[in-house]
Amino acid sequence: MITGASSGIGAEIAREYARRGVPLILTARREDRLAQLADELRARVPIEIISADLADPTAPARLCDEIERRRLPVRILVNNAGYGVPGRYRSKDWKTHADFLQVMLGATSELTWRLLPSICAHGQGRIINVASFAALVPAADGQTLYAPAKAYLVKFSEALSLENADRGVHVTALCPGFTWSEFHDVTGTRAMMSKLPKWMWLHADAVARAGIDAAERGQVVVVPGAFYKTMYCLIRHLPDSWALKLMGRNSGKIRKVD
C-alpha cells in the first residue's frame, strides 16, 4: 500500500513496484488522479484504489477497515503522503499545523501500527517511510514543522527496524533532497526553487528506485544522489553551531519565510 500515490515520489514508487510485478493498493485524496495512475498500471499488476484524506483523524482506521473488507493482504507499506506548510510558525493558524501533523505523524504512525501484523505475517515485509534530507541536517527558517516531522520518520524507522528485524521485516527511511515533483508548486515556492542549480535536483523515478532497493537489502536510512550523500557526510563532521549558522544564512534561498 502506498499513501500519497497520486503524484510525485509516491506515483513513481507505484510505477516501480508495478514494473517489479507487485500488486498495489493506492491511496490519496485525489481519486481522479489515482484512477488515472491505476489505468496506466493495471496492465502490469492488480490495482486497488481507496481515496482517503489523512488529515482526518478517522481516516487511517477507515482505510484499514476497507482493506480488510476487500481481503487485501498488505506485505509492503509505503508511508509517502506529505506536504509542506510555507512560512514561519505563527504565520499560519493552528488548524493548518494540526492537519499537517496528523498527516505526517499521526496517520503514518497509526497506519503502521494497524498494518504491522499483516506485514510481519509474510516473513518478508517491507516498510518505506518517505522522509527527507531535511531530517538529517539543521532545520531551516520557514516550514517550521517540516524538518522535525521528517526527523521523526527517520527515528521511527530505526526503532521499527530493530523491533521487527527478527520477523523478516525491513524498514527504511528514504531521505531525498530536492526532487522534481509537485511539492514546490503546492507550497508556492516553485519560482524560488527554480533558481537553484539543476545539479541539485533529483528525479522522482530515481528516488523511488533508491528507496525500494534500499528496503530490499535492509538498509535503514538511504540518501539518494551523490551530491546529497557528500553533503550529509560533510555536515555530520561540522560542529552543530557552525552547521546551524550556515543553514541560517541560506534559509531564504530554500524556504519561504514571510
Question: What pLDDT, in 10s, does the model give residues 21-65?
Answer: 999 999 999 999 999 999 999 999 999 999 999 999 999 999 999
Q: Which of 13-22, 126-135, 187-196, 214-223 has the lowest mean pLDDT?
A: 187-196
229 phi and psi angles, rounded to 5 deg: -60, -45
Residue type, 15: R
Mean pLDDT over 3-32 rounds to: 97
User: What confidence score (pLDDT) does residue 148 get?
Assistant: 97
What is the tally of structural domains in the chain? 1
The boundaries of the domain holding residue 152 are 2-254
Query: Does 190 score more than 70 pLDDT?
Result: no
Compute CA 143 distance to the chain's CA centroid, rounded to the nearest angstrom.
16
Q: Is 146 among the catalytic positions?
A: yes
CATH number at residue 145: 3.40.50.720
CA–CA distances in Å: residue 233 to residues 228, 229, 237, 241: 9, 6, 7, 16
Predicted TM-score of the model (pTM): 0.89
Least confident of 85-99, 171-185, 239-253: 239-253
Over the stretch 137-152, which tens digit does the pLDDT of each residue have? 988 888 999 999 999 9
Catalytic residue among 146, 152, 228, 232: 146
